[in-house]
């Protein structure tokens, strides 16, 4: 089903069979469809609940009225009404009643429609190790996601705000909308912007989180702090010390980072292992007894070249064993 909606689902005979858990190939089909389209899972749950509620809604008089209306509509398109109504009439009638009830409530009491809105479908975009992905949101905002990063965003933003959630690193070029601020939620803080471009590094497992601002202005906040940074400034948060600093940064180097270039400045073995794991899809021994202080750049070399470089420039010999990074003292 393309562009599914609540109305399409509850009026689809095969989906109704799935909701009623009848012995049918349709049950298997819809279970598979939901697994393959997780962005519509909330919509499917809401639609199923409504189908079940509708089973007890129509009275005999209401069904008779709906039958007359449906016969008229079916006659106009010359459909075989006998076959259609024997199996699917109760659900079609329920759809007509639902539409009529919605119109009645709107005309009689608009305030009754102020109940909680249906959940908006959320897209969860994950990027595998060694890959980068460009995503354009419905408001025109462009996002470049780094390896092993996850971005959760709604298929359609609310009228008053735009909210997404990031785990990992990404470059955002946010579409300017004065009356619809854009907010990015991470593990430790939120970033609020109107229209600007910046990098965020916010992996849960990293000891440091960073926001580097290229253009515009952003507000960074959580329960204990709130501040604004300007172009050329970077917000650097040390999770271990629970402290932050505002620093200048190399914009060229920061842009290279989101194109797969790794820059190390007095990096430990754990820092190197974490970055190589994301870039090349390998594992590393986080608790390895390796005393390392490495500064350098790894651009677009293959993994063998990287291991040779580390071996030549440090006092350790680097190699892979069962796809795990190993470092032995020379």
Of the candidates 196, 225, 254, which is a domain's last residue? 254
Mean pLDDT (the chain) is 82
CATH number at 231 reads 2.60.120.1440
217 in the same domain as 295: no
Let me know whether 209 and 279 are in one domain: no
Same domain, 196 and 227: yes
Res. 304: pLDDT tops 70: yes
Residues 128 and 232 in one domain: yes
16-38 pLDDT, tens digit each: 878 777 667 778 888 888 888 88
Residues 75 and 138 in one domain: no
Does the pLDDT value for residue 114 go beyond 50?
Answer: no
Biggest CA-to-CA distance, the chain: 89
Helix 81-108 and helix 41-54, axial crossing angle in degrees, nearest 10: 100
Q: Is the pLDDT of residue 4 over 70?
A: yes
In this structure, are strands 182-185 and 162-173 parallel, antiparallel, or unpaired?
A: parallel
Give Cβ neighbours of residue 52 (< 8 Å, ≥ 6 apart).
19, 20
Position 201 in a domain: yes
* 132 and 175 in a common domain: yes
Note whether 288 and 313 are same-domain residues.
yes
Full-model pTM: 0.61
Domain coverage including residue 47: 6-114
Residues 324, 246 share a domain: no
Q: Please count the structural domains in the chain.
A: 3
**Does 107 lie in the same domain as 10?**
yes
Q: Which residue has the tokens 């270039």?
A: 261
Which residue, of 254, 287, 305, is where some domain finishes? Answer: 254
| Domain shared by 127 and 246, yes or no | yes
* Domain final residue, candidates 70, 88, 114: 114
Q: For residues 130 and 177, state if they share a domain.
A: yes
- The SS3 of residue 53 is helix
Tokens 């402290």 belong to which residue?
243
């Amino acid at each position: 089903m393309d562009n599914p909606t609540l109305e399409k689902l509850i009026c689809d005979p095969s989906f109704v069979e799935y909701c009623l858990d009848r012995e049918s190939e349709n049950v298997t089909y819809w279970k598979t469809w939901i697994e393959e389209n997780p962005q519509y899972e909330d919509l499917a749950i809401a639609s199923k609940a409504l189908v079940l509620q509708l089973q007890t809604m129509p009275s005999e008089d209401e069904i008779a009225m709906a039958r007359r209306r449906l016969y008229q509509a079916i006659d106009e398109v010359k459909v075989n009404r006998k076959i259609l109504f024997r199996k699917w009439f109760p659900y079609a009638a329920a759809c007509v009643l639902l539409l009529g009830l919605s119109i009645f409530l709107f005309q009689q009491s608009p305030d009754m429609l102020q109940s909680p809105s249906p959940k908006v479908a959320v897209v969860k975009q994950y990027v595998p190790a060694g890959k980068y992905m460009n995503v354009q949101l419905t408001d025109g905002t462009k996002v470049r996601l780094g390896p092993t990063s996850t971005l959760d965003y709604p298929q359609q933003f609310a009228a008053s705000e735009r909210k997404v959630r990031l785990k990992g690193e990404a470059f955002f070029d946010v579409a300017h909308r004065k009356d619809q601020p854009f907010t990015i939620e991470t593990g430790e803080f939120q970033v609020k912007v109107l229209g600007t471009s910046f990098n965020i590094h916010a992996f849960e497992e990293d000891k440091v989180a960073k926001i580097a601002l290229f253009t515009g202005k952003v507000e960074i906040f959580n329960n204990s702090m709130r501040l604004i940074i300007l172009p050329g400034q970077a917000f650097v948060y040390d999770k271990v010390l629970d402290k932050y600093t505002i620093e200048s940064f190399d914009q060229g180097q920061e842009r290279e980072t989101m194109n797969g270039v790794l820059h190390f400045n007095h990096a430990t073995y754990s820092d190197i292992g974490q970055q190589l794991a994301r870039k090349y899809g390998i594992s590393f021994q986080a608790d390895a007894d390796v005393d390392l202080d490495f500064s350098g750049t790894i651009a677009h070399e293959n993994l063998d070249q990287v291991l040779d470089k580390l071996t030549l420039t440090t006092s350790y010999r680097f190699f892979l064993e069962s796809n795990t990074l190993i470092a032995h003292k020379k």
